[in-house]
Structures are given as structure tokens and as C-alpha cells.
A = this chain, B = another copy of it.
Amino acid sequence: MGLLHLFSSRQEKIDLIQEKKITTIAYEQIQLSDGTQPVRKPLSQIGGRLVAQIGAHLMQNDAGGKGVLLGGMGGVPPAEAVVIGAGVSGTAAIQSLYGVGAHLTVLDTDLDALQVIHETFPGVATMVSNPNNIFRATAYADLVATCILIPGERPPIIITREMLKGMKPRSLIMDISIDEGGCLETSRPTTHEHPTYVEEGVIHYCVPNMGSAVARTSTYAFLNAAFPYIREIAKKGSADAIDENPAIEMGAVIIKGELKKLSSSKASVEEGE
């Protein structure tokens, strides 16, 4: 069992699980009654945290970028970063970009989330997320991070190919939602080896499972979060754990080979009959 394979399983694997009547609990789908997903949360945070350091790297000349320092310096204005989505990974991305000194614009549909960002990060501009504002903000951005996660749903397409044409040449978009399918019309999964491609002059970074770039930290974070559930399942057996703990039941995507629900997330614990 390991974190790094969480999202990599393919259809054949699912077929095999179903055929063998295996019960599969997707840790990242474990969900408390208030809707939070305690195991997914630290992984989302790591994804967000990585936005600044991977984004900064990709903007270096030696990585094919514009050769710009995100935070600027005395006499050189900082880069313009735009974060769409102020949830768990979006807030982590904002923190990391704020920490390196980028100038930030944050969009979300949730006014309360924007208010929290407004109060926590002085100087950050906030806008209600809608196509008009997304178009305006991306047009002046050097770096855009899309951090949208709607539990149990594929994220919507919020940046169209048309919008890309309004962006600055060699600007960078990081689609942090790529794990769930991405929210750009033009996004497709890439790898840590070949993380970027260019569409309409805009550099795209769409690596799923970003956390594997810092595997040691991710593993600790995952184990910290998952351990109480792992222990419960080990102690009770998966059947009883699913019965008795509704949070674990939410994560049981395949019960004895029967597919409870199919989402983009895959199984991480597999238990034979």
C-alpha cells in the first residue's frame, strides 16, 4: 500500500477487482459528516503548497520559462499570480505564492471564502469567480493556478481555449484539478518527467498526483491522516469497519466486487475475500 499509486490504477485493474469480488476502500474518499475528507485534505494541501515552488521553477529560463522571479525585488515589480478556487488546495497555493512575494488575485464563487482570504492575506485582490472575471484576471497573469474540487464531481471547464488567446505569451497555467479531470478545455495529464506543454502560447502544467514530487513528506502526511482508519480497518476487518463507521463507508467504492460509485479516484487499499 502506498500513496503514490492512489490515482494510477487503470480500467483493467478495476475489472480485476470486480471480478475477484475484492472490497476496496479509497482512503481519499473517506468523508466525515460535515463533508470534509480527512485523508485527502493533507494531500490537497501539499498540492497547493507545491504551486509556488514548481511554478517558480517553471518560470526559470533553464526550465523553459520567462526568466522571472515571482517575488520581484526593489525596482522590479513582482509577478502576477491568479488562483482560482480558495478551498483547501487553493488556500495552500495562496499561502505559498504569498510567501514568495507574488502579487495575487484570488477568485472563488464563495464570498465567505474570499472574505477570509481578504482578511488573512493583506494586499491580495479578490474577485467573484465568473467567466468575465476569469477572463479579466487571466489576461494580466504571469501564473494561473486552478484549484477547484467539487467532491464527487468532475470539475467544470472554467478556462476555455478562447480565454488562453487573451493571455500573455509564455505565461503559465498549473491545473491543480487535473487529478479530478482538470478544469481547462486544453488540459491533459502530464508527468513529472515531461511536466509541461504549450497551447495557444501558454505553458500548461498538468501533473496529477503532484505530491509524489515530495514523496517523503507526502507519505508522512498520508500516514498521519490515514492511520486512524487503517488501524480501525485492521482491527475490525473491512466489513465491520464499513458498517460501523460512516466515514469509512463513504470511502468503500467497491464492496465485494460491486462498484458502489465510480469517481475519478481509485482504490488504495485492496482486501481479498
Closest to A107 in B: B75
| Binary B-proximity of A51-81 (CB < 8 A = 1, otherwise 0) | 0111011011110001111111111111000
Give min CB distance, A237 to chain B, whole Å. 24
Q: How many A residues touch B, CB cutoff 8 Å?
A: 66
Chain B residues with Cβ below 8 Å from A72 are: 118, 125-126, 217
Does A42 sit within 8 A of B, measured CB to CB? yes
Pick the residue among B68, B104, B126 that contacts A74 (CB under 8 A): B126
Closest to A112 in B: B74
> Is the Cβ of B125 less than 8 Å from the Cβ of A68?
no
> Is the Cβ of B74 less than 8 Å from the Cβ of A117?
yes
Closest to A103 in B: B123
Chain B residues with Cβ below 8 Å from A119 are: 74, 95
**Most central of A60, A72, A75 by chain B CB within 10 Å:** A75
Pick the residue among B46, B56, B66 that contacts A73 (CB under 8 A): B46
Say what secondary structure dominates the interface of chain A: helix
CA distance in complex: A119, B42 (Å): 13
Pick the residue among B42, B59, B214 that contacts A61 (CB under 8 A): B214
Does A264 sit within 8 A of B, measured CB to CB? no
Closest to A99 in B: B99
Does A197 sit within 8 A of B, measured CB to CB? no
Does A242 sit within 8 A of B, measured CB to CB? no
Chain B residues with Cβ below 8 Å from A112 are: 74
Chain B residues with Cβ below 8 Å from A263 are: none
| Binary B-proximity of A217-242 (CB < 8 A = 1, otherwise 0) | 11011001101000000000000000
Chain B residues with Cβ below 8 Å from A2 are: none
> Is the Cβ of A105 less than 8 Å from the Cβ of B128?
no
Query: Which residues in window 25-44 of A have CB below 8 A to B?
Result: 38, 42
Does A49 sit within 8 A of B, measured CB to CB? yes
Pick the residue among B42, B123, B220 that contacts A101 (CB under 8 A): B123
Does A122 sit within 8 A of B, measured CB to CB? yes
> Is the Cβ of B67 less than 8 Å from the Cβ of A221?
no
| Binary B-proximity of A162-193 (CB < 8 A = 1, otherwise 0) | 00000000000000000000000000000011
> Is the Cβ of A75 less than 8 Å from the Cβ of B114?
yes
> Is the Cβ of B53 less than 8 Å from the Cβ of A217?
no
Give min CB distance, A155 to chain B, whole Å. 19
Nearest 6 Cβ contacts at the A-B interface: A74-B115, A123-B123, A77-B125, A53-B56, A62-B192, A67-B216
